[in-house]
Every structure is written in structure tokens, then in C-alpha cells.
Structure 1
């Protein structure tokens, strides 16, 4: 049996493991949280290197993107270098392929994005392809890179503006300790509503769930969230906050929507290759797998089944 191991900087409370049969192959898929301990994360990867078929690097992205450039986070590169024998991926390939496909499906097959919906993208530099797909679908975007990552109440409305600011700021930001930019460990469990007007004005809230959760308000009536790495407990919480619909961009696996890093590692494992795949290779595998898109109507979910 093949083994996919997601090593996450996030909370161990979100750990999950499943066995799946895909494309005629049995795979054990596991996610293990390091509770914000980067050194423990590095040592765990070193200990398992060569003993599993693929690593997913969770809770941290290796690269941030603008329209025309890529910027590498120093802390993430240090973690990636811990794997010498086993391929390690951070989910970037899935963000460029599967997440774009999900947005295209929503635009083509549902009314969730129709009529020029107002969308809050919590961090476009982390999910450039999703942001571009939402724009192409006719959504009116507000980008929350400054509020949700830097804590500055400055909304942005153009990917070109983000690209300009990225050239100025990201060379410095990428050298900062990652803990200054993104919640890890127990801090992922903390919700302090903030930037309420950005949430209030949006029909769609899209992007990384931990960034959404960090500041989301107590009332999400009428809104749709597009995200992943969702647990059953998260669904119960979102129902309590009156969310209308939840779209998970990664497939449900026994009650859990894994992060993009785990799904990308799974595809690398299925391919049999020892390296990150190309976008064309990911798309070819996604065509074969044909993962169902999970759209949860929270208003129809009862308390006992949430």
C-alpha cells in the first residue's frame, strides 16, 4: 500500500487518516499537525524521508504569487529541503488546477457566481488562480491580502495593484518569520471577529479557511464560502453562524476535506513519479479521478448531521 503523509505546521487537533482506492491503487492518506513547531516539523520529515511515497507540506505555502512573479518564503524553503528522497509538495499545483476547475464548474453549472456577485478573496497572493477564475466568472473582487495577512484595514480591488505592491513588499515579507503572517498551531483555533465590513459586503468569501476563520463574524447569513481543509466540527460551526452554502475545493474523505497539499501529494503518489508534476500532468490525473465537487447547503443540514 502506498503512503501519503501530510506534515502540517497547524494544530494536531485536525489530524485525520483514511485509506482510499484510486486508479487501481490503495493509498493510506494521513495528516499530522506539528502545533506550530517548525523544528519538530523538519525533524519529522527527515525521520520519514524515504519511508513514504509523498509528503504534503501543510500550514505554510512555499511561494506567493502576483500576476507575473513568484516569491519564495524563506521558512518554507528550509522545511522543503528536509526531504531528500521523498517528493514534497505544498499544494500549489492543486491551487492552479483543481481550484480553478471548481470555480469554472460553479460558474458553468450553478448560480452561485451569477449576476456579478461580490467576492472577498482573503489572500490573492496565496491563490492567484482562484482569484483570476473568480474575476473571469464575472465576480466583483475585494482582495484581503493587507487585512488578513498584515492586519492593515486596506482593501485592494485589482490584481495589477497587488502585483505592483508585491514587487515593493514581498522581498522583505518573505524573509519574515512565517508565524507573523499566518496562524499556526493553537492560534488556528482562535476567532476574533474583525474587518466586519469586508465580510458584510461580500456574497462570496473565498480562500484559505484558517485566514477566513481568524476574523469571520458571528453571522454569515446568505453567504457562500469557497475553501478547503474542512472538518465536521467546522461545518457545525459554520451552520451555527448561519452560513448559506459551503463549497469544498478538495474532495470529501470520510468527513474531512484535506488541504491542497495533501491532495497534491496524493496525485504525485498515484503518478509514481518522484517529483512535483506539471499542470498538464495534474489536469490529466484530475480528469481520470473526476472528484465530485462538494457543495453543502448549510440551511438544509440538521444539527445532528452537521
Structure 2
């Protein structure tokens, strides 16, 4: 049996373990949250190194991407470099391949449509999704300044995102990741804010913790395109009026695991280190496994 563990800076309340079979291999997949404690995450990684087949780094990015450039995140690199034996990843390889593919499929199926208004809470976290939305004709607001920095300025083009990223990410990447992204118990906190951007959108897309962070009390008819959701999250969205929940990774025993977990499964199947895996490797496994989105209708329109 292969063991894959997601070590996350997120809340330990979201911990979960499943056993599944993938391409004839039995996997034990687990998530272990460290409640925003970077030092605890480092200790846990050292404990697991060499004892599991692959590790996903959750609740943090090692790299952010914009305009074809990759920007390192200091805290993410620290976690990655803690590991000496076990291969590890942050999910960005799957975000750039699987999520790009999923978005294109959703347009082809008519679930998303050309001209639809989409709020993508962070483009640099999901540049594959961002490009796919634009390529398929969606009208997109990129919420990177709003959701990461609390600056209520919507970005309306990928060129603007890339220019801003080149200016600020080399500096922001050196700061504590907690300043950019909710970790630990902050993931459980909601502060309804920036409602006009949610109201404008027909689809709210991207990282679920960013989506939830400022989620308004009423989101009637919205489509939520995200991942890493639990049954509790699904109930929350339904209670607030969302029409549909689409997760870019499949549901495993009651929750959708993050892209970091699924990418770690890919590393274990391929027997490769993260830097050795190519987009063609990802796409080949996506096809073999039949990996695709999970679509749940929460309310009939």
C-alpha cells in the first residue's frame, strides 16, 4: 500500500483519511493540519520524510505563477527543502493542467458559457484556471488585490495581473505567508465583505478559503468552482443560496482533497521527484485515471 500525506498549514479540524484504489494500487491518503504553525509543519515533515511515498504541501504555495514567470514563496520553499528523501509538491502542476482541462470541459458541456461573469479570487494561485476562463470567453474579475491584500481594486486582464505580479511578488514572497493567506483557525473565520464583487459574479471561482473568507450571507444562484471542500462547506453554500458546487478534483469519501494531495498521488504513481514531472506526465495520468470534476447541484434553478 502506498501512503500519501498532505501536511497543511490549515486547520486540523479538516483532517481526513481515506483508502482508495487508483490504477490497481491501494493508497492511504491523509491530511494533517498544523493550525498555521510553520514550525510544527517542519517537525511533521521531518517525521514523515522517508516513511511515506509522497507528500503534498497544503495551505501554502511554494510558487505562484503569472505571465509565464514563477515566483517563489519563502515559507513554502522552507517546507519543501525540509524534505530530503520523500518527493513533495504544492499542487501547482495539477492546477496548471487538470484545472485548465476541467474549465475547458465545463464550457464544452454548457455548464459555463461565453460572456459569463466570473470572480476568480486569485489568478496567481490558479493561473491555468485564469487563462482557461479568459480563453473560453468569460468576463473575469481577478481578485488578487482584494482577497490577498485587502485592497478593493478589481483586476480585469491577465496582462495587468502579470505586470503587478512582477512588481510585488518578489517582495511579498519574502514575507510570512500568513500575511497573504488565511491559515489555521483563520480558515474558519468569515467576515462578509466586498459583497459587490460577489453580487456581480455569476460564478465565483478559485481557492475555497479565499471564497469563504468574505462570503456574503446570500449568494443566490451562484456557481462555485473550487476544491478542498467538506460536507460542512457544501451545506454552508447551499444555505446561502448557491446553485451549484463544482470541485476540480473528485470527491473521496465525503470531501474533495486539494490539488496538492492529488498531485502527490501522481508523484507516487510515477516514482518521480516533483521537478522531474512534465505536463505530459500529468495529462497522461489524468486520462488513465479518468480524473475529472465533481458537480453537485445544490438548488434547482
Tell me, yes or no, whether TM beats 0.5: yes
Shift of 1:293: 2.3
After TM superposition, the structure 1 = structure 2 runs for residues 148-187 of structure 1, keeping only pairs within 5 Å, are 148-187=147-186
Q: Structure 1 stretches of 5 or more lacking a match?
A: 301-306
Following the alignment from structure 1 to structure 2, what is the Cα–Cα distance between the partners of residues 47 and 71? 28
After TM superposition, the structure 1 = structure 2 runs for residues 84-95 of structure 1, keeping only pairs within 5 Å, are 84-95=84-95
SS of equivalent residue, structure 1 residue 112 = coil
Q: Structure 2 stretches of 5 or more lacking a match?
A: none
Following the alignment from structure 2 to structure 1, what is the Cα–Cα distance between the partners of residues 274 and 196? 43
The number of equivalent residue pairs is 299
Following the alignment from structure 1 to structure 2, what is the Cα–Cα distance between the partners of residues 33 and 94? 21
Following the alignment from structure 2 to structure 1, what is the Cα–Cα distance between the partners of residues 90 and 169? 19
Corresponding position of 1:210: 209
After TM superposition, the structure 1 = structure 2 runs for residues 89-238 of structure 1, keeping only pairs within 5 Å, are 89-109=89-109, 111-238=110-237
Following the alignment from structure 1 to structure 2, what is the Cα–Cα distance between the partners of residues 34 and 172? 26
SS of equivalent residue, structure 1 residue 142 = strand
Following the alignment from structure 1 to structure 2, what is the Cα–Cα distance between the partners of residues 163 and 132? 12
- Could you list the structure 1 runs, at least 4 aligned residues long, displaced by more than 2 angstroms after superposition: 272-276
Shift of 1:292: 4.2
- RMSD in angstroms over aligned alpha carbons? 0.9
Q: Is the contact between residue 248 and residue 292 of structure 2 (CA under 8 Å) also seen in structure 1?
A: no
Structure 1, 48-57 or 272-281: larger mean CA deviation: 272-281
Following the alignment from structure 1 to structure 2, what is the Cα–Cα distance between the partners of residues 103 and 11? 28
Shift of 1:112: 2.5
Following the alignment from structure 1 to structure 2, what is the Cα–Cα distance between the partners of residues 196 and 117? 18
SS of equivalent residue, structure 2 residue 7 = strand
Corresponding position of 2:38: 38
Shift of 1:136: 1.1
Q: Is the contact between residue 114 and residue 136 of structure 2 (CA under 8 Å) also seen in structure 1?
A: no
Following the alignment from structure 1 to structure 2, what is the Cα–Cα distance between the partners of residues 254 and 90? 22
Q: Does 1:265 align with 2:239?
A: no
Following the alignment from structure 1 to structure 2, what is the Cα–Cα distance between the partners of residues 146 and 244? 27
Residue by residue, what CA displacement relative to the aligned partner does 1:127-151 show, whole Å, maximum 9, x if unpaired? 0110000111110010100000000
Q: Is the contact between residue 5 and residue 262 of structure 1 (CA under 8 Å) also seen in structure 2?
A: yes
Residue by residue, what CA displacement relative to the aligned partner does 1:135-169 show, whole Å, maximum 9, x if unpaired? 11110010100000000000010110111111111
Following the alignment from structure 1 to structure 2, what is the Cα–Cα distance between the partners of residues 82 and 136? 38
Residue by residue, what CA displacement relative to the aligned partner does 1:275-305 show, whole Å, maximum 9, x if unpaired? 44211101101110002421110015xxxxx
Corresponding position of 1:303: none
Q: Does 1:250 align with 2:249?
A: yes
After TM superposition, the structure 1 = structure 2 runs for residues 4-19 of structure 1, keeping only pairs within 5 Å, are 4-19=4-19
